[in-house]
Chains A and B, each alone.
Chain A
Amino acid sequence: MSAITAHHDDHAHSHEPSFAQQLRSNRLGLWLFFFSELFLFAALLVARFFLWGGARPELSQVLGLIATSVLLLSSFFVYRAESAMAHGDRKTFQSGMLIAAFLGTLFFIGVVFMEWNIFGLQGEIAGIELFGHLKPTDGVFGAVFYAMTGMHALHVLSGIIFLLIVWNNGRKGHFSSEEHWGVEAAALYWHYVDVIWVFFYPALYLIGTAG
């Protein structure tokens, strides 16, 4: 059975969408993906308010604030890298991407190794505890905290990988100031993951009474 006739290659190209049309589709697709993911993060926020109500666990405020600042700062460097690419400035693009990926990694370390404290470490600087105490099995506090930070950290991790892929391809000269959809997508994704944290951070660290 053959429902479709094959064509020669040269004919095929006339049917493929132009760069401009594909770019339009890509942009819309990415934004729809963001909108879709909003429901994932909203489900986690619903779980937080449903299970915690007006309470929240005892968390290290300093650690949370530093991690949040680091993440927000990384967005600035991604923005710089993207606009540098749009202007053909490859050097600023590369350094911006690398710095952002580095800051993202710091945030990731802050969550997984310090806040989660997966190696069970102890230590303090100037009276501020460096490592968290909350365990995943600590009732609804642990469950929601680990689910929200974990789901977000997963996005941060994929974002770091995305930034590094784009950095590497940019280094090899695969993007131009006119055609750099990969850079744009990575930057948008990074900003998006940042914005999600802007909502997660107060829900976890600020709203409600601790204890």
Chain B
Amino acid sequence: MNTLSIWLTSAYVRGLIGQIIGTAVGFGFITAIRAVMGLDTSNIEPAVVFGALIGVPGSLLGAGVLTDWIKWIFGKKTPLRHGAPEGKPEWSRYINVDVNHKVIGIQYGFTSVLVLLIGGFFAVLFRIELAAPGMQYLTNDNFNTLFSAHGIIMIASILLGVGAMVNYLVPLMIGASDMAFPRLNAFSYWVGIPAVVLILSGMFVGGWDTGWVGYPPLSLRAPLGVQLFLLGFYINGLSSIAGSINLLVTVTTMRAKGMSLFRMPIFVWAAIAASIIQFTATQTVGMALLMVVTERTIGLNFFNPTTGGNPILYQHLFWFYSHPVVYVFILPGLGVISELLPVFSRKPLFGYKWIALSSLGIAFVGFLVWAHHMFTSGMNDALRIPFMISTMFVAIPTGVKFFSWMATMWEGKLSFETPMLFVLGSISVFLIGGVTGPILGTIPTDMHLHDSYWVVGHFHSTMFGGFVFPFFAAVYYWYPKISGKMYKESLGKLHFWLMTPAFWLMSLGQMRAGLLGMRRRIADYDPALGVETTQVLVTVAALVIGWSVLIMVYNLISSARSQKMAATNPWNSRSPEWQIPYPVPEFNYDAPFEVVGDPYDYGLDGSKYVQTIPMPAVGD
């Protein structure tokens, strides 16, 4: 088989075909029913919604995710399949449905970066438009669709990135052979693909103008594209829920011998905390999204105030998820920071237990603050003060992390390879995001800054500091483990030194524009605001960030082709995944290990974290 035919028969192509067929079937079915019932068939919206829904199982069937489960229904037992599909080369595992957590983790990672590039491209498009007042080359509608899609596409990318890190790393770190439910793991990844396809296709059927929040009553009146956005968002939630339950079970039941909770690598704690949010709160936003879909499609009246509905309800259900979900993004990111700092400081992680519990603390407090997004919404006034106070409490567990990082670095033997640079960059950027948050969480200042570009600056600092920088740190750090090669340090450093100052400039510029009165989500602005120079600088900075990410992509691809193999443990890490040579065996550890010490005792002579359990010889 040649490469092209392997690609053309891959699960991606089969899934896409399945989605198209499923959509057509669903669309035709509803259109036929409506024709028979004598309803107006020129209103295609119900048929589009049903088609979009049927497209998802179509995609999963086409890709082959459901095959084993369908066999189970008829009482057939199916062993887990390992290795490449029959008669195809090893690399084709990565473009087909595979149950190995490392393959799935890499699939998540590739998809995440691809989706990141798409979402970033959208940002660049409307950022260039904003560089000058007046409309340059976009229409208002195009602008609205682009910034809305940028938001939700980036969220999809981040969730995929979290999935990449969690899937690849956690089973390795706890000494498990795989996730607890390998088929469900594959499902979690593959159901995200039709979700992204839905969101992107929403841009071509009218787009939508609601931002990523989809507030009614605007979303009730938005073009048809909003339906595909809502459904794509909803389907993505299924991926989150299935993936997080899988992770929680894996950590509970599959840890290696001696790996008590407080001896796990710290990243695992972050993954647990993020999963707790994901598997609960995702349900409420899913319900809110479905309510808008049903209100538009079959006339259930939840949110339209002219007929007795209440749009505030949507905001409550939406933010009950959408505040905590930013912790789903940043907790794994902060986990990477805590994981890497001791390695590059050659010192124990300061206050391991505090860091571990602060992750849970952030997750917990995150459930109690959602209405700080609604100070100006017209909700019950009595809710405002309690939510302002609870919001301030977020600073406590977050502060614990900052102080622990400082103390970990204090008098350490620091070295500054690319992963460490990105760790330090994330701390600096997350600090900007952190200190600009309370100003929005405080009612009087929020009254002034709500819906301004200040919010955009704050939010991007938290996302870059909490996720993007640490994610890049993780990509560089674990790259030798995954590919067996070392990335090019010079290009890595170039990436860092382009991206970090550009980011500072971008987010501080956004905040300045906001203070001067620039509204968010607006295609045009009044030159009298005096933000033109700032807008140009922000746009240039955004372009620099975009180019720097492309440098990373080039670095990762070109380094993978190099002939020289990387060292087994290039960072002298104590973590178990670095103790085994490349390539990692199918089931991770051919000989199981046992935990005999604490994970981060760097610099303590003779201390050991893990050691291999000698296996008795087994006759085959």
Contacts and interface: CB of A to CB of B under 8 A. Distances in A.
10 contacts: A1-B560, A3-B584, A4-B586, A12-B586, A12-B587, A21-B253, A35-B279, A40-B287, A143-B295, A172-B75
A44 B287 contact: yes
Contact of A1 (B245, B302, B483): B483
A29 B300 contact: no
Given A43-B288, A142-B301, A33 B245 contact: yes
Contact of A29 (B180, B484, B582): B180
A40 B286 contact: yes
Interface in A1-51: 1-7, 10, 12, 14-17, 21-22, 24-25, 28-29, 32-33, 35-40, 42-44, 46-47, 50-51
Contacts of B294: 143, 147
Contacts of B286: 40
A39 B279 CA distance: 9
A37 B287 CA distance: 11
B299 A43 contact: no
Please indicate which of the listed interface residues B253, B291, B482, B586 has the most CB atoms of chain A within 10 Å of its own CB.
B253
B316 A40 contact: no
Nearest to A36: B279
Contacts of A44: 287
A46 B316 contact: yes
A168 interface: yes
B300 A147 contact: yes
A21 B82 CA distance: 20
B284 A7 contact: no
Given A4-B103, A25-B253, A36 B245 contact: yes
B299 A6 contact: no
Interface string A44-61: 101100110000000000
B80 A137 contact: no
B462 to A, nearest CB: 24
B283 interface: yes
Given A6-B82, A32-B248, A33-B245, A47 B300 contact: no
Interface string A145-184: 0110000000000000000010011001010000000000
Given A28-B249, A43-B284, A136-B298, A7 B585 contact: yes
B281 interface: yes
Interface string B317-329: 1000000000000
A140 interface: yes
B558 to A, nearest CB: 13
A147 B307 contact: no
Nearest to B275: A32
A127 interface: no
Interface of B: 73, 75, 80, 82-84, 90-91, 93-94, 100, 102-103, 106, 177-178, 180-181, 241, 245-246, 248-250, 252-254, 279-284, 286-288, 291, 294-295, 298-302, 307-310, 313, 316-317, 482-484, 560, 582-587, 618, 620
B245 A29 contact: yes
Contacts of A139: 301, 307-309
B542 to A, nearest CB: 32
Contacts of A43: 283-284, 287-288, 317
A139 to B, nearest CB: 5
B585 A4 contact: yes
Contacts of A38: 280, 283
Contacts of B484: 3
Given A7-B82, A147-B294, A140 B309 contact: yes
Contacts of B295: 143
A47 B245 contact: no
Contact of A136 (B181, B241, B299, B560): B299
A25 B316 contact: no
A146 B585 contact: no
A146 B75 CA distance: 35
Contact of A28 (B75, B253, B585): B253
B483 A3 contact: yes
A42 B316 CA distance: 13
B447 to A, nearest CB: 25
Interface string A114-156: 0000000000000000000000110110111011000000000
Given A15-B177, A33-B245, A42 B91 contact: no
Nearest to A29: B249
A6 B300 contact: no
B274 to A, nearest CB: 14
Given A7-B586, A51-B302, A147-B300, 9 more contacts: A1-B91, A2-B90, A3-B584, A5-B585, A15-B177, A16-B80, A25-B254, A29-B249, A137-B298
